[in-house]
Structure 1
């Protein structure tokens, strides 16, 4: 039944996609973030729904009227430079076969991220994008929160198998990033029942994140909540809610959970932590030795034999920063960090320009909550290999759309050709 439902939704949306590229982007985000086909048991698990939606969206973008270029913003140029650099490092990859397989996946994500930036144009598009992200990830938050309550917190919460967020640590970070987006919708929803539903979803998502037993997730949610409190205009109210809710959540979790969280301060005795540190040393040594890094997929015994302090402990980087460093070198890491800084500055510019203006109150609220999501990603991502996780890039697209709306800029569209024509006349 679930397989049929997903099939009907996807193919039923094709006429809407061909008429409006933004619908195609929303469908793509739903398929790629929620992975609804993994919730079935039949043919839907392997059917190329994403491919069908991507082809329809690209066709729609090509034939649709109106502006179709990328927004003219610094973060756009840096994203393009980062994509170009990943292509260069792939040419010099240590393991060409596995690197190409990963390159194929990453470039699809980057292509659709750029398409998202081209198709998401209006406030309505941005709002719909946030709703799709919240529903897609909130499904696992509500489901995981209920599971945590039923199990008394004794069992771990996992994400959809075979996806970016299948790992317990990854689903925790994804849910933490979603909570500020839920808060934005909560603050900008007129219907009382909807606000109550979003409040419940936030609580269950937080409980699911704790139920994942992710230590990085705990640090991420602490950083995210602190930032939201600092930025809140109602510090006393929000502080009271947090002060009442957090102790209840922590008391609910069993001793087994508390023991695992206590191990954060004793990382020297934790084998998992030591494995990650070993992988970080390997990535650093590799980047020092090779300008282009090792390319995609470098967690191989031969790489650790040459560059790691402990060659026998072959371990994934489990850090967005060291993952980029090892795979794409210091230049790649510089571009990735610059992209994060410029994304943050874009949100800050939106909040600054919209301050005190009623017509942009929604934009200021969303930009601030996206910053909270990015804080969670920056902290939690320090312990996870999620460089190519698509949600941060969709949030960048939302910020770019708002920035262009506020600046009243026209999109970037064949600037060289336009310059040449002007010169001729």
Structure 2
């Protein structure tokens, strides 16, 4: 059985989608004759926690832990609220940033390159190089963000010439928030240099989206595979559908995810249709940026708004399956075309229709269309969004509202792990 060392920052009790990708791979790898060993920080700074995920860790798996120096712990003494937001990727627009936020972003972008976990790189390379030799590890896999973990892979590759796969759950220099980090010229160049070194040194690269793969192919000739996130077969207590015509977004709504035309379309439907006004409910589960809330209230939707905050993964699944329509929103930017949120795949198997709003040529449009699980719209398509919602409302009233998905099997976590296992075995 091949031994594979997986270097990841996010691991239970951390919450959020970044945890689930490698938790699920670890869950199924042994079924493909691959023995995973996981390396994580002993004292990681996790903005979100979900203790329910600890029950999914295979009981006999080896999990190595080493301490990490976390600047966010010190920053929390200055401003806990701002530290949590920035470490979660919630970065306000320039005009909404206070002096303290601007200062923290400047420090984050220019002093901590590629990110605040950079101090874990050297001690990890030292420890793991010895561990890999002693236990005959065949392959090392690093997953980012945080992209500092790819520098661990880079260090190991150079020191002991191990097989190395770099998994990019999100882009590096092309990710949406990168431009908000107030990078000086030297910092921007250093990010680009480190990204290039990783892309050109790893033996194999994995991305979760087709757009990110295409962007990386401009930088490197190394083989790149797309292995998306996916869904797992999870037992969820049967939950009755909402009595209201609920449009639900599950997950963080960052400040850039603010489709004002959607809010205005809903406002017009409420104004024009008394029955719709009586039945409609907008449910937001997870962290919501202040600008988004302001836009929703400005549209006059506050009486229809339900805010639940962060919930456990199990409760999130229940809320997905009880909602009438599921809302998926991505930032309206060329930089986010390749973002495929992990929750999309859970949405797909919830048997509820998806209303997605995002940028032109978004990868999520391709997946939603391919699986017949909903409809994708551009931010500008207010009338089209409005008509789609009203047609779904009429189906809700007649009791016929549901999804008719096709071809979902290839996005199961088990099938995706099979693709990963094939990559590992082909490395030799």
TM range (shorter): under 0.3
Higher share in helix: 1
- TM-score, normalising length: structure 1: 0.27
Instruction: Give the TM-score normalised by structure 2.
Output: 0.27
Q: Which has the higher strand share?
A: 2
Higher relative contact order (CA 8 A, sep 6+): 1
